Amino acid sequence: MAKDNNYVDQLKGMLPQYLDILGVSTKGPFKCLNPNHMDKTPSMSFDAKDGRHVHCFGCGAT
């Protein structure tokens, strides 16, 4: 299980770089769709301060 957690942490650490490649500015917090919900409007925020902080407005997960 620790191996899986390390992989997830690596992916989370690459998120800001991936978003930059897509042309999404991570200079400040922004709202986006939560892939865990069937939303049609942005339901979570991403804060690029540390590149890992997300908050879902629907279920409250952080």
| DSSP calls for 22-55 | TT---SS-EEE--TTS--SS--EEEETTSS-EEE
Q: Is the full-model pTM beyond 0.75? A: no
Residue of 44, 23, 21, 19 whose CA lies nearest to 53: 44
End-to-end CA distance of the chain: 21
Q: Residue 44, Cα to own-chain centre: how many angstroms?
A: 8
- pLDDT-derived band at 25 (thresholds 50, 70, 90) equals confident
- pLDDT-derived band at 4 (thresholds 50, 70, 90) equals low
Which range, of 3-7, 13-17, 55-59, averages the lowest pLDDT? 3-7
